[in-house]
Structure 1
Amino acid sequence: YACFWRPDELVKISGILHMMGLNNLSGTVGQRIEKGQHWMFSPWREITFVHAVQQPLSKVLGKNYPEIVTIEPERDFGDNFTLLNTKLMVHGPSTGQIDITADWDEWIDDVTKPAVEITQSKGKVVHFTTPYLWFEYIFGPLVKNNIFPGLKHIFNDTKHRFVNYSIIATTRYREYFFNLIQEKGDTFKLTTEGNTVTKVNILSSARPVAPQLEYVIPTFEWNRKTNGNKTVTGRISGLRIYMKRPWYSSGEGQQLGVILYMPPVTDNIPGSKNTTFTTWGTDPTKLSAALPNKNTPSLNHFINLKQENKDIVATPEDNTAKVYVAAFDVKYDTDRELYYADIMFNIGVAYYPFVRLALAAYQKHSVRKEKTDCCISPIVQADYIQIPAPRTSSIDVGSSNNQVTVAIGGTLPKIERASFNGSRVEFVIEPLDIAASEETHISIHKPIESYQYTLQINDVNNYIFYHSHQFNLPSEYASKPYRIKVLEYELITYDPLKPNPNPGNVVFASMPKKERLVFADVYEVNK
């Protein structure tokens, strides 16, 4: 700014004017003095006008501020931190400092607690002051020869997480609002919140802990459909693997992996050499159909296995050896306080095949570099277990309503002697005098009718059987409630109390037999 003297005062009181030997303002010098243009009489000063904004500007010329434009995490094996290669846009003239914050779900499986706890964690990744005319910040190798390293986010462990990153800008002019800050406190906002980049995938950098297998049991999936007077029920079988706590040693998203053999592809990809993998085979006591793959199942032999849950990974024992992984989600059984995973094989028409599962904890979101990875834990093996054969049953009520056809079908081994290794089906029709309770079906009266049949060699065609029987019930059962039980028993020889005195002369027909119930289904009619 500039200043000038009033003309009459300048002549009267200015000592500098008299020192210069001037007593009036005539002439060129006097005119400049009168206009305030002579530095000895009216020196100039620079004034900076500050547009002090309470909050940093959020949008200028169509650009949003502050903004996380790009964020790419980078992690190496064993790292307990991640480097965030990041590009930020900041409105420098109105922004004095930048904060990058993070929040994520933390999966904590404390065995002293009833179940896994999912807690929300928060943290500040970085805080820095901003130059006045700097709008773009790039950290890490997003541009060539960048001198600024990626932003370092320390987790203090190697787990996988999905992290949300947010950017917050603080005004450059906080000191101009000192009185308002004291007066209004936290309600006087000095920051502008930018965008949030959600679910940034922070990879696990270490192998999971091996699963602690408790036991494996068969499971049964039932599907019943009714069309008019006909009702059909299908049952297929799978396996449920129970595991002890804790789980989630590699973080969120840890699954159970079934380890499968991978044949050699090239010299550089030798396949599953010297590796434990899942095997299966038919029951040696039965003349069963062969399994779809002779000794080892493949990824194609799982039912409803999504493509995203198929993988090829390196083994912990040898990083050059590769295996296929079929991954399954893990759930928690609050009653047993155990984790479990359900799997289901396509066993074709094989009858009760044996499977020995090779299992590992699997984390798909893991570091993968230089043809190796840390996706699976050390491999553990389960005991052999049999997969029950699939079955269908049906009832078809005739037009008279007291005539009903009952049927059963499924896979069987080849029958050489029905009296030695056959199966027996039984259909029982009984009064519905006591309602079903907790899947228990009881009747205190004798059956209305029953039917038994031992399957013969000709009943099995290409390892599949189907058998039906028609009942003509008393007329009152056209409307009276009744129950139909569909039962199948496997005939097996057993060891008698006394050993066979002549083991070299075995007569199969005379060997003692026992029945093992292998299928049961129930229908309630006119209920």
Structure 2
Amino acid sequence: RVSPDPELELWQAIFKPEAPVFSFKMADLSQNLVVSYPVKNVLTFVASTYLNVATESPEEPPPMEKLFHSDGLAQIRLKPITDARYSRTVQLRTTQQVMAQSVRHEAESQKIKAVQITPVPQPPKDFFLLRDFYKPKNRITIDPKTQQPIIKKVPITKPEIDFHQALAFLTNYPALMRLLGLALDFEMEVPSDFPSSGWIKIVPEGRTDETPRTAYNFDPSRGVFEPAPGKKPADVINGFLNLADEEQYDLVQLDVDSVALKTAELADTAETKEKADLPALRSSGLGVVKNEQAKSVAEVFVRAVELNTDLTHKKELTFYAEDLVQGCRVDVWDEKSKQWHSLCQRIGTYKFLRLNRELTLEDEGFISPAVTQSADESSNDIFVHESLFHWDGWSLVAPRPGKTIDPNDNPQSIENKAISDFLLETRFKPKPASLPRLRYGVGYRLRARAVDLAGNSQPLENPDDSCAIPAPSKSPFTFSRFDPVPSPQVILREAPKSGENVDHVVIKSFNESLAKDSVPTSQVADRHLAPPKISQLDSEFHGMFDGASGIKPEVYSLICQRDAGQLKEIEPGEQIEVPYFPDPWARGACIRGLPYGAPDPMMIEFSGDWPDFRPFRISLQEGSQPARWDSSSRVLTVFLKKGESVTLRISCYFPERFLPIQGLYRWLEKPERIIPLKVMQPPHGLPEGQVQMLKTLQPPKIDLSKLRTISLQGRNWLMTPFREITLMHATLQPVGQPVNKSLEAERGLGQTSAVLYGEFEVHGPSTSKAELLANWKEPVDYLNEPGPRVLEGKAHVLEFKIDQVMSSLELTPRPEASPKINQPGSFELQTKSVTAAMVKAPQTPVYRHEFGDTKFRKVNYWLVATTRYMEQFPSNELPEETGYTRSSNPVEVKVLNTAPPAMPKVLYVMPSFKWERDKQGTSFKSTRKSGLRIYIERPWYSTGEGELLAVVLPPGITITPRKPLATPVSRKNEPQSSQRIQPMAQKRAVAGSFQVNVPPVDERYKPYVTLWGTDPIWRSGPLSPPEYPGPEAFPSAVEVMGDLPLLELPQDKKFIAVGHQVEYDEERQLWFCDLEFDPGQAYFPFIRLALARFQPDSVPGAHLSKVTVANFAQILPERSLVVSFNPSKLTEIKVTLSGKSYIQGYAGSGPGEVEVALETKKLNLPDELGWEPIKDAVITLKPQRASASEFGSFIWQGTLNLPKGIKLQDYRIIVKEYELFDTDEIDKTAMTVAAVPQKYKRLVYAETIKLMDL
């Protein structure tokens, strides 16, 4: 025995005679499922994702659609997809439930109860295992009130430890075990014939304890005597874990768990994100993971049961190396020192509380795998990570100096207090100068010396690197920086203004009027840009404290001065100094997006040596020139015009010498550094589905030259993420005034909404939204009210979000070529056509104004633009009577009627007269025009404003003007064949300027059209046309439109509507329409009016109502009377009457008889009853033809002599016209008809003129 003698005092200080001893029952864990996840496979998927994004979208995060697809990020999605964006295009590989059942069934069907890890990546399964590994281990219940999952916390209780458990804990302290006699070291003479392999055991004399055999290997030439491995391939070779076995072990330098879980969360929340903003990669040191660690642990459990069974059955036991290994000691070799360094050398202080004695021992600790289970015992599953160890630059067996964070997030000093009855406290620190340095850009190898139950292992001085990782045949592993270089810090120079914060830099212009758009502002806004801060530990990784021969002597004071340093929230100085450790890679700022032709990107250095990098300042002013850099004052001045804003992307850039050690760039440079060969070249014999899955993980084609340039300029968002700073020249109101360039409204038959087409000029940079407003006047005729009235209509029609780059706002775009959907026809057909057209092009925006009915309106539209900068101008800062908006000038748009009007309800038709009296010099002229008045029941305005009463004329009238009179009015939605004739042109054209071709009326049209004819008892001039009037026969018409269909005859689009205004009779509470006629030379013709309600402003098919036919009525002839004194003889009055009359009647030849009489006024009788004729002052006017061409036109003339000495004010002239009839005179005595017919006069015209009016 070569170990020291045990110290009884130390034993008694730990173990009291009354120490508890619990009965032993081995815990059989061989049937417990061991759960882990394949780190290498998960890392392969993460790396593949990053390589694809870094190649295809290096300057900004890609749209989520680019990443979340069936062969991309969606492979690791297990939750159902509900978003329509993806549900139709993305196919999930599996579900959570299916995968859970499959994994557990697969594992529990094996002898070794461990989740089965595939040798090649299977992303759906790999990430299921990751999620399963990190899900809460305790039972999850649902809160009945909130319906949220609850995980009950199990309180930590003081453990009960017995004698045997305490002995097990002491195996962590090899040096103390020897002082306690728990580990004994022996040396023996080796016989010359000692076998090179076999088994050996020590048998104590006088005891019956079981002493199992140990298989060994003996090689005296190498000085090796060690436990022999029990399986092939061996886990332990020559006392080292075989880390060189690439099938079992991998070296990682990323925080795989963190980035993998965040990537899985990104897949689970893809629907909520527009951009695929991948989580940042983080370097976490150097670590070794063991593939299929769960299986290895499960095999240990099975082996333990087998050994325990053999022991209880008194079988001879043989232990192999794997049975005796309780951990390992990790060594690091670096290419600078060219030697191995232990990460487990330590100096331990052991405090024996019962002795009040401290003992300091130097030894090597070791590390062992750890497993976990649910604290509430709700599950028997055992969880083990594949990570064997991870080195972050410090000892693996001693804590870092400094404080830790307690459960309440407060810093606290580490104190290892004894809580058991064995009263031993320990403290450890690394052996001075034993630890290697972990530095970016340095090459490393790692090895692990196996540690047996007694704490024995190969010595550190053993140069054997055959089991190191990377293997000796490969280059050392370069520790690389994956952490992105943060964007610069942005610091305020003064307290922020309204609507301003650290990332929103604002100057303001109060342009409450158009004139102030040209008045410059004097405001200036500044921000400091400083390099990002890193921690003291990160500074160590960069080697910033390393000197030529060790740590720089001034490091401690520098750390004390700067580690906790921070900039203030507001730094008013022109320039500032950084009080912290800046990121050594942040050598300058890359600024993208500067306006007006400035360099893009503009790269500005943080000058000076580390850690004294110098910040600079950005200053915003009004102007339109490119940004200007002043190196002496270190100020970048950016100019902006009124209302404009620009968002800058600001990132850091790093020197070119750092690019080879940037982790992601090293992957891009050689993807095989991270993508396994089995993925790059799938093994033969794999199922086709797995091969296709592996192909999705293969790296894309990489343009390294392009990515190199982007990365060195600080534009690669994965390496140097940007922050966005928005510079604003805020304006109270939008710059300029919105201008209407065009605006039209169109509706199809039966539609209640109008599609708006048009364009407005807007100032996009200063306008956040535009609202289309409307108002109109809408006449209504409610039966419960005494008469019609006009309502004021208004609407907030549309609202648009205005993009900053917009200079115009276009409403519904017109299709280049599409079938017309508003041709005349049935309402049902039109509706189907409109619907079909919308379904075929759902992506085209269609902007509508919904009116709720089909009526015609004249709508005033105007656009109201709202400033983009309301937040920057709170109401308490506004000038009086000032708002945030500017409006365009209103434009009137006709919104056509889309449904046929209601049929008019005609009550009766009666003659109407219109008298026009005028004195011209010594002459007095009186004209009587006659027509028909049509009374119509209420209500009116079934189609809105402008509704007329139309006289419907038959098809077939071709009107050809001899000279162009006026351009026909064109209308949207009307076929080119439609005729619309201006009423004034009609009036001017009546006198013979039209040639009229009139075919006979088709019998099927007669019930629906206007007809006329001469009175058969008179022979007079002809009607033209003879069967029905033309449009020119209606001089009082206000609208004439042809080529119209009737609802009764929808297929015959040939009818003519002659529209007339209607008026309201308040006394009768009826509507009426006065029609004037021009029957040509005819005398008292008959007319049968076919009437329809008529809306000229309608879409085709909606102009006319159904037709109603009035009773026959006669049209009275026009008369014109001229009366004047003879200038040479004032007692003579000349009388002339003209107009149409009959040529022949039953009573004889025409024309009618005209009588002129002088009447005087009797004062004792009122009004007309007071006038009586003067005897011998009556004359009959002599008729004559007006002209040879006007067959039915006559002139009656004569002279009336006045009595002498009369007073003019007491006299008047009365002119009467009579028709002559033959009548049968009744003999009242005999009550028989007289033998000879008698002449009878019928008064058809009368007019009176006071002599004072001449």
Question: TM > 0.5 between the two?
Answer: yes
Query: Which band: TM-score by shorter chain?
Result: 0.7 to 0.9
CA contact (8 A) 1:418 1:457 kept: no
CA distance in 2, matches of 1:94, 1:296: 64
Tell me what 1:362 maps to: 1094
Tell me what 1:257 maps to: 950
CA distance in 2, matches of 1:19, 1:119: 84
Range moving further from structure 2, 202-211 or 97-106:
97-106
1:516 counterpart (1242, 1246, 1251): 1242
1:50-199 aligned within 5 A? 50-51=727-728, 53-59=730-736, 64=737, 66-142=738-814, 144=816, 147-177=843-873, 180-181=874-875, 187=881, 189-196=883-890, 198-199=891-892
SS for the counterpart of 1:111 is coil
Tell me what 2:1010 maps to: 278
Change (3 A) 1:137 1:353: same
1:221 counterpart (885, 910, 914): 914
2:1072 counterpart (337, 340, 346): 340
Residue 1113 of structure 2 is aligned to residue 385 of structure 1: yes
Change (3 A) 1:261 1:47: closer
CA distance in 2, matches of 1:18, 1:323: 96
AA matched with 1:33: P
Change (3 A) 1:69 1:384: same
Tell me what 2:1170 maps to: 443
Residue 1047 of structure 2 is aligned to residue 316 of structure 1: yes
Tell me what 1:485 maps to: 1214
Give 1 or 2 for the bigger CA radius of gyration.
2
Residue 167 of structure 1, CA deviation: 1.4
CA contact (8 A) 1:234 1:392 kept: yes
Residue 309 of structure 1, CA deviation: 2.9
Tell me what 1:288 maps to: 1020
TM-score (norm 1): 0.80
Residue 96 of structure 1, CA deviation: 2.2
**Deviation sequence 1:251-306 (CA, Å, 0-9, x none):** 111111111122288xx999975221111011112223221211111112222546
CA distance in 2, matches of 1:392, 1:435: 33
Identity %: 28
Residue 221 of structure 1, CA deviation: 2.8
2:614 counterpart (27, 31, 36): 36
SS for the counterpart of 1:93 is helix
Change (3 A) 1:128 1:415: closer
Change (3 A) 1:313 1:412: same
1:494-513 aligned within 5 A? 510-512=1236-1238
Q: Unpaired runs of 5+ in structure 1?
A: 5-13
CA distance in 2, matches of 1:57, 1:456: 78
**Deviation sequence 1:346-394 (CA, Å, 0-9, x none):** 11221111011111111111112xxxx2110001111111111222333
1:410-425 aligned within 5 A? 410-415=1139-1144, 418=1147, 423-425=1152-1154
CA contact (8 A) 1:105 1:119 kept: yes
Tell me what 2:936 maps to: 243
CA contact (8 A) 1:139 1:148 kept: no
AA matched with 1:53: A
SS for the counterpart of 2:1032 is helix
CA distance in 2, matches of 1:459, 1:157: 55
Change (3 A) 1:158 1:446: closer
Residue 206 of structure 1, CA deviation: 0.4
Aligned residues: 494
CA contact (8 A) 2:1147 2:1239 kept: no
AA matched with 2:1043: I
Range moving further from structure 2, 84-93 or 441-450:
441-450
**Deviation sequence 1:195-218 (CA, Å, 0-9, x none):** 43x221111110000111122222
CA distance in 2, matches of 1:392, 1:113: 42
Tell me what 2:1157 maps to: 428
Change (3 A) 1:185 1:339: farther
AA matched with 1:118: V
CA contact (8 A) 1:170 1:192 kept: yes
Tell me what 1:7 maps to: none
Change (3 A) 1:348 1:502: farther
CA contact (8 A) 1:56 1:191 kept: yes
CA contact (8 A) 2:1141 2:1151 kept: no
AA matched with 1:164: N
CA distance in 1, matches of 2:1130, 2:1086: 43
CA distance in 2, matches of 1:447, 1:469: 17
CA distance in 2, matches of 1:422, 1:257: 34
1:404 counterpart (1122, 1133, 1136): 1133
2:894 counterpart (164, 180, 201): 201
CA distance in 2, matches of 1:271, 1:104: 45
AA matched with 2:725: T
Change (3 A) 1:449 1:170: same
Tell me what 2:1198 maps to: 469
Change (3 A) 1:289 1:502: farther
CA distance in 2, matches of 1:233, 1:386: 22
Residue 474 of structure 1, CA deviation: 2.4
- The two structures, once aligned, show a CA RMSD in angstroms of 4.2
Change (3 A) 1:516 1:169: same
Residue 514 of structure 1, CA deviation: 4.1
Change (3 A) 1:435 1:382: farther
**Richer in helix (by share):** 2
CA distance in 2, matches of 1:287, 1:216: 25
CA contact (8 A) 2:739 2:761 kept: yes
Range moving further from structure 2, 274-283 or 212-221:
212-221
AA matched with 2:888: G
Residue 488 of structure 1, CA deviation: 1.7
AA matched with 1:194: S
SS for the counterpart of 1:175 is helix
**Deviation sequence 1:90-112 (CA, Å, 0-9, x none):** 33332222221111111111122
Residue 35 of structure 1, CA deviation: 4.2
Change (3 A) 1:320 1:46: closer
**Richer in strand (by share):** 1
CA distance in 2, matches of 1:518, 1:348: 19
CA contact (8 A) 1:86 1:142 kept: no
Change (3 A) 1:172 1:428: same
Change (3 A) 1:291 1:444: closer
Tell me what 1:8 maps to: none
Q: Unpaired runs of 5+ in structure 2?
A: 1-527, 532-538, 559-586, 588-606, 616-651, 655-719, 818-840, 959-976, 979-998
CA distance in 2, matches of 1:253, 1:176: 48
**Deviation sequence 1:45-69 (CA, Å, 0-9, x none):** 967354262534323xxxx5x4443
SS for the counterpart of 1:309 is strand
CA distance in 2, matches of 1:219, 1:435: 32
TM-score (norm 2): 0.36
CA distance in 2, matches of 1:524, 1:161: 49
